[in-house]
Amino acid sequence: MDSDVTLYTHGGNWPPPPPTGRMPLEQRAKIFIPFDPLKGFQDALREKERELEEAHPDMKPLV
């Protein structure tokens, strides 16, 4: 029973070497997909900003 864990804990190659070759394009593309856990949150923030800008036209953004 020679598992990877046994090899690493008994003088084996630790940390394990990085995988060779390239990641398949289908998997790689998933890394760059935007992640939006709170659907509609950005839109709600923009709406609130617009309301505040209309209510206080003399104020300037901080950024």
Give me the pLDDT at residue 51, please: 93
Residue 37 lies in a domain: yes
Of residues 58 and 60, more confidence is placed in: 58
Does the reported pTM lie above 0.75? no
Residue 61 lies in a domain: no
CB 29 within 8 A of CB 22: no
For the stretch 8-58, pLDDT in tens is: 555 666 777 777 778 787 777 777 777 778 889 989 999 999 998 899 888
Domain span including residue 14: 4-55
Residue 16 lies in a domain: yes
Q: Into how many domains does the chain fold?
A: 1
Any residues with CB less than 8 A from the CB of 7 and at least 6 apart, and which?
A: 13
Give me the pLDDT at residue 28, please: 76
